[in-house]
């Protein structure tokens, strides 16, 4: 069976493929009700772990500690990072194992425990290599076969094309996807063609989403109740989850919000006008980011982007009335809200999982990836953006990696490579915006060091010409990066997968 799985910050939404239709999978909750999502929530008691609806049932049980927003942790988590005694990577894998069990035992899918589940999954558009790698690895270890990985707004673009194949309002068929989820905001500008769809550019905010709206509500509620702030950790996660529940009841008819933090008369009522005013600066950041993506797309394709583009509103957090109102204020009738905003990405992923020719999507690399190099005889450094932002990525069929090569004569006995990903570059070419340094790589250039552990070896500048070295970079359709470092002179190489966070 083929599925599209949108692993979100606050909920997982699954869509199935069914002969050109993509129904949303429902799960049975603890009280026997059908629900169109699986909560992205963990409850931990020592070495015991429960997830989803079972974790929701532990919210008021003091024996269990609550962990929310697991997906957000992936943006910065390294191999050894842990939470409440669990490595983040192991927690993610076990969460997905229990999700697979729920699909078999507590969903409306007709699947058995040994059936192959072939899935398309997604990550935020600006997700770094580590997050992409950890996500794919965890799905595979949990028993899924990962057929494709897409950026989330790209998946929403596929869903838009399927739902509105002949939209007369898009003269040149450009769609600006406004994707406000539980933990991130992404904007992608997509050219919708007859044979294929092409991502023109992307932009995003790695730490802005519905989680931050929950923080705003919690802070307002604590202040109104005269209570002091609660430190980050399981207790605060428990309160934030209660605020999320109240936030999702918010509609245009709501006059007051009353999160049940204590379950007694201490629970304060927050006027919706006060809450909306506190949210405006956050939403304005998303609008500015979308503007930036639109401007870059306009410069890229040379069209009047404002007249040729529909703004497609998706993502669970985008359903908040304040978001829709501010989008309408800025873009007017150009805004089209997905009728299933919380499931748009999952449906797009299910479409991608079918791998039909008419649903081909050309993605682009969503950030800059490069390495620091020496200049001026070691007295200065410069940043080499090996893989530039918006570089076209290969189609999955055939899955030929995008290759980039650097070749030079080495100046040292050991090659010391310090890799960086970033969201933008300054005018002088140095990394800026959201910057992620990755684990340093040491490659033996001197032949007598090729079998040595290099951690304690001094890097020494060698006199005269030294061996010729080649760097061979590969970037796959999923945005993962590998590099082969080759001593061309002596004929040996090492292969490294880029991802480990620097200490």
DSSP string covering 462-497, please?
A: PSS---EEEEEEEE-TT--EEEEEEETTTTEEEEEE
Contact by Cβ (8 Å): 158, 180: no
CA–CA separation, 444 and 416 (whole Å): 9
The whole-number pLDDT of residue 502 equals 38
What separation in angstroms does the CA of 68 have from each of 82, 83, 463? Answer: 14, 11, 55
Distance CA 292, CA 476 (A): 26
Is residue 84 domain-resident?
A: yes
Identify the H or E element spanning 299. Answer: helix 272-301
Does 149 share its domain with 92?
A: yes
Closest CA to 292 of 210, 388, 201: 201
- pLDDT, position 63: 92
Q: How far apart are CA 82 and CA 370, in angstroms?
A: 28
- The range of the structural domain enclosing residue 468 comes to 368-497
Give the pLDDT band of residue 345 (cuts 50, 70, 90): very high
Quote the pLDDT of residue 277.
Answer: 96
Number of domains in the chain: 3
Q: Helix, strand or coil for residue 6?
A: strand
Tokens of 259: 């999160």
CA neighbours closer than 13 Å in the CB half-sphere of residue 217: 29
Whole-angstrom CA distances from 497 to 92, 134, 138, 192, 485 are: 20, 12, 16, 33, 11
Task: Tell me which residue of 445, 461, 468 sits closest to 377, measured CA to CA.
Answer: 461
- Specify the 3-state DSSP secondary structure of 334: helix
Pairing of strands 118-123, 2-7: parallel
Whether residue 356 is predicted with pLDDT greater than 80 in this model: the reply is: no
CATH number for the domain that contains residue 69 = 3.30.420.40
Q: How far is CA 178 from CA 15, 326, 345, 433, in A?
A: 20, 12, 12, 20
Assess whether pLDDT exceeds 70 at residue 166: no
Answer yes or no: is 200 within a domain: yes
Asked if the model's pLDDT at residue 477 lies above 80, the reply is no
What CATH number is attached to the domain comprising 261?
Answer: 3.90.640
Q: Does 437 share its domain with 412? A: yes
Pairing of strands 419-425, 431-437: antiparallel
Residues 171 and 271 in one domain: no
pTM of the model: 0.81
Q: Which of 362, 382, 406 is at the close of a domain? A: 362
Do both 235 and 353 map to the same domain?
no
pLDDT of 164 strictly over 70: yes
With H, G, I as helix, E, B as strand and everything else as coil, classify residue 5.
strand
For residues 324 and 418, state if they share a domain: no
Three-class secondary structure of residue 130 per DSSP: helix
> pLDDT at position 168, please?
60
Do the domain assignments include residue 68?
yes
CA atoms within a 13 Å half-sphere pointing along the CA-CB vector of 77? 23
Domain membership flag for residue 116: yes
Residues 269 and 202 in one domain: no
Q: Looking at the structure, do residues 82 and 158 belong to the same domain, yes or no? A: yes
| Nearest-5° Cα angle at 151, 74 to 404 | 90
Find the CATH number of the domain harbouring 400. 2.60.34.10
User: Does residue 502 fall inside a structural domain?
Assistant: no
pLDDT above 70 for 195: no
Residue 173 has pLDDT above 70, yes or no: yes
Tell me what pLDDT residue 134 has: 87
Same domain flag for 163 and 71: yes
Higher-scoring residue by pLDDT: 20, 470: 470
The answer to whether position 93 is within a domain reads yes
Indicate if 187 and 308 belong to the same structural domain: yes
User: Does 503 fall in a domain?
Assistant: no
Instruction: Kindly state the average pLDDT of the residues 190-202.
Output: 78
List the beta strands (DSSP E) in 341-447.
Answer: 360-362, 368-375, 380-387, 402-409, 414-417, 419-425, 431-437, 441-444
Determine, yes or no, domain membership for 90. Answer: yes
Q: Are residues 188 and 308 in the same domain?
A: yes
Nearest to 120 by CA among 83, 161, 152: 152
**Interatomic CA distance for residues 2 and 111, integer angstroms:** 11
Instruction: Specify the pLDDT at position 339.
Output: 86
> Do 72 and 191 fall into the same domain?
yes
Q: 3-class DSSP state for residue 7?
A: strand
Last residue of a domain, one of 336, 362, 388: 362
366-404: per-residue pLDDT in tens? 888 999 888 776 677 789 999 888 887 765 544 455 578
Same domain, 202 and 139: yes
Strand partners, 2: 118
Distance CA 99, CA 106 (A): 10
Last residue of one domain, picked from the residues 305, 329, 362: 362
CA-nearest of 59, 341, 148, 115 to 107 is: 115
Instruction: Please provide the average confidence, as pLDDT, over all residues in the chain.
Output: 86
Helices and strands (H, E) in the chain, number of each type:
11, 30
């Amino acid at each position: 069976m083929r599925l599209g799985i949108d692993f979100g910050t606050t909920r997982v939404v699954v869509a199935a493929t069914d002969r050109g239709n993509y129904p949303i999978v429902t799960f049975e909750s603890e009280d026997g009700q059908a629900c169109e999502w699986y909560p992205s929530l963990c409850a931990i008691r020592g070495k015991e772990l429960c997830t989803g609806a079972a974790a929701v049932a532990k919210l008021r049980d003091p024996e269990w500690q609550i962990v929310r927003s697991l997906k957000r942790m992936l943006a910065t988590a390294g191999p050894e990072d842990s939470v409440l005694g669990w490595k983040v990577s192991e927690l993610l894998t076990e969460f997905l194992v229990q999700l697979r069990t729920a699909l078999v035992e507590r969903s409306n899918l007709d699947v058995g425990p040994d059936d192959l589940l072939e899935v398309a999954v997604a990550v935020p558009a600006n997700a770094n290599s580590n997050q992409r790698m950890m996500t794919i690895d965890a799905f595979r270890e949990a028993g899924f076969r990962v057929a494709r990985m897409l950026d989330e707004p790209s998946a929403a673009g596929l869903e838009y094309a399927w739902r509105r194949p002949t939209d007369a309002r898009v003269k040149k068929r450009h769609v600006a996807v406004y994707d406000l989820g539980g933990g991130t905001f992404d904007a992608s500008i997509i050219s919708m063609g007859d044979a294929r769809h092409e991502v023109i550019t992307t932009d995003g905010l790695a730490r802005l989403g519905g989680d931050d709206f929950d923080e705003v509500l919690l802070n307002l509620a604590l202040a109104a109740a005269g209570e002091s702030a609660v430190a980050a950790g399981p207790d605060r996660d428990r309160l934030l989850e209660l605020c999320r529940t109240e936030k999702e009841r918010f509609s245009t008819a709501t006059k007051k919000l009353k999160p049940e933090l204590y379950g007694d008369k201490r629970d304060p009522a927050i006027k919706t006008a006060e809450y909306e005013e506190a949210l405006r600066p956050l939403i304005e950041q998303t609008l500015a980011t979308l503007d930036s993506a639109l401007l870059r797309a306009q410069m890229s394709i040379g069209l009047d982007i404002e007249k040729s583009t529909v703004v497609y509103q998706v993502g669970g957090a985008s359903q908040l009335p304040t978001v829709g109102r501010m989008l309408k204020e800025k873009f007017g009738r150009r805004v089209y809200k997905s009728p299933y905003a919380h499931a748009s990405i999952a449906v797009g992923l299910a479409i991608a999982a079918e791998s039909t020719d008419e649903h081909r999507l050309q993605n682009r690399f969503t950030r800059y990836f490069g390495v620091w190099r020496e200049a001026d005889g070691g007295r200065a450094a410069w940043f080499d953006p090996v893989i530039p932002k918006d570089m076209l990525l290969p189609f999955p069929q055939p899955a030929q990696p995008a290759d980039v090569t650097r070749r030079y004569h080495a100046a040292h006995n050991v090659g010391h490579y310090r890799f960086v990903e970033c969201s933008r570059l300054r005018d002088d070419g140095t990394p800026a915006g959201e910057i992620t340094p990755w684990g340093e790589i040491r490659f033996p250039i001197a032949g007598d060091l090729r079998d040595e552990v290099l951690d304690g070896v001094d890097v020494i500048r060698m006199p005269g010409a030294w061996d010729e070295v080649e760097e061979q970079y590969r970037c796959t359709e999923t945005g993962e990066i590998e590099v082969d470092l080759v001593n061309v002179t002596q004929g040996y190489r090492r292969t490294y997968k880029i991802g480990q966070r620097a200490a």
